[in-house]
Amino acid sequence: MNISEEYRTEPNLAYAVVFGSVMVLGLPLNAVSLWILLRRHSLKSSNAIFMVNLAISDLLLVISLPMRVYLYATGTWPLSSKACIYITMLFRNNIRSSSIFITLISVDRLLAVVYPLRSRHLRTASNAWKSVALVWLFVLVVNIPEGLVLAGNLKRVNESVCFKIHRMQSAQAYLHLVLLVTLLTVNLVSTALVSCTLHRRLNDSAKVNNKVNVMLIFAMNLVMFTICFLPVSVGLLTIKRHEITPLVCLASVNCCLDPLLYYFSLDAFWKKKEDVDLAREQ
C-alpha cells in the first residue's frame, strides 16, 4: 500500500462538527475568562496568573481548530506542510501546558488550604511568573525534536494528510505519558490532602459552600486528566493512526471545560482583587 493511501484523509463531517463546536464554544468562553481575570485580578495573585496562562493555552488551541474543521469537512489541506506542523504542535502544546497549569493551580490551592501561613512566601506573583516562564520554555524546547520528526514524516507523504500523522517517536510518546501520569499523581495527592483538611473543619458551617467550591476545583482537574489528557496520550502509543482522531476530538474539549473551573468552582473569580485577598486569608 502506498504510504499516501495509508494516511489519506477523507471528508468526515462528524469530526468537522465536533471541532467546529469546540471552536464556537471555546473561543468566547476563554476570551471572556481571560478578560475577567485581567480586569478583576490584575495578575497580582499566583492563582490568577496560572489561570490567565491556562486561558491563553486554550485560546492557542482554539485558533488552530478552523483548519481542522476545513480539513475534515473537505478532505483537503490548503496550506503548506510548515503550517501543518505549527497547528499540530499547538494541539500537543495545549495538552502539555494545560496539564501543567492545572497542576500548578491544584498545588496553589493545596498550599492555601493546608498550609495557609507557611506558604505565603511561596505563593507570590513573582514565583508564579517564574513558574509560568519555565512552563512555556519547557513547551518550546519540546517542540524542537517533535517538530523535526513531524517534518520528516510529512516529507514522505502528501501534504493533504495533515493531522493524520499523530504518532510521535516511541521515546517522545513515553516521556509525554510519564509527564501526564506524574502530574495526575500530584493532583491526586493534592486532592486527598485538601479533602482530609477540609473534612477536619466540617463543623465550620459558615464555610461549607467555600469548601464545596474548593473540592469542585480538584474534581474538575481530575476529570480533565482522566477524560481529556490521558486517553489521547495512551492512544499515541497503542492505537492505529486512523482510529485516534476520536481521542483527539475528546482532548480538544478541555478548552471548553477549563472555563468551568473559573465560572463555577471559584468564588473569587467574580470578585475584585481586594475581595480575593480577604478570602484567601480565611
Name the pLDDT band for 282 (thresholds 50, 70, 90).
very low
pLDDT score of 150 = 79
- Return d(Cα 170, Cα 244) in angstroms, integer: 16
pLDDT score of 258 = 87
Mean pLDDT of 72-95: 85
Q: pLDDT tens, 83-94?
A: 888 888 888 899
Full residue range of the structural domain in which residue 223 is found: 3-281
Residue pair 104/187 in contact (Cβ under 8 Å)? The answer is no
Name the pLDDT band for 182 (thresholds 50, 70, 90).
very high
Output the domain CATH number for residue 56. 1.20.1070.10
Helix or strand (DSSP H, E) at 249: helix 245-252
Name the pLDDT band for 276 (thresholds 50, 70, 90).
very low
Residue 103 has pLDDT above 70, yes or no: yes
User: What is the chain's Cα-based Rg?
Assistant: 20
Inter-helix orientation angle 125-155/170-199, to 10°: 150
Count of CB atoms situated within 10 Å of the CB of 187 = 23
Give the rounded percent of residues in the chain with a pLDDT score beyond 90.
30
- The single residue listed with the C-alpha cell 496539564 is 99
- Return d(Cα 104, Cα 132) in angstroms, integer: 9
Q: pLDDT tens, 192-251?
A: 998 888 877 655 544 545 677 778 888 888 989 999 998 888 887 776 655 778 888 899
> What is the pTM assigned to this prediction?
0.85
pLDDT score of 240 = 60
* Number of compact structural domains in the chain: 1
- Measure the CA angle with vertex 33, ends 60 and 89; round to 5°: 10
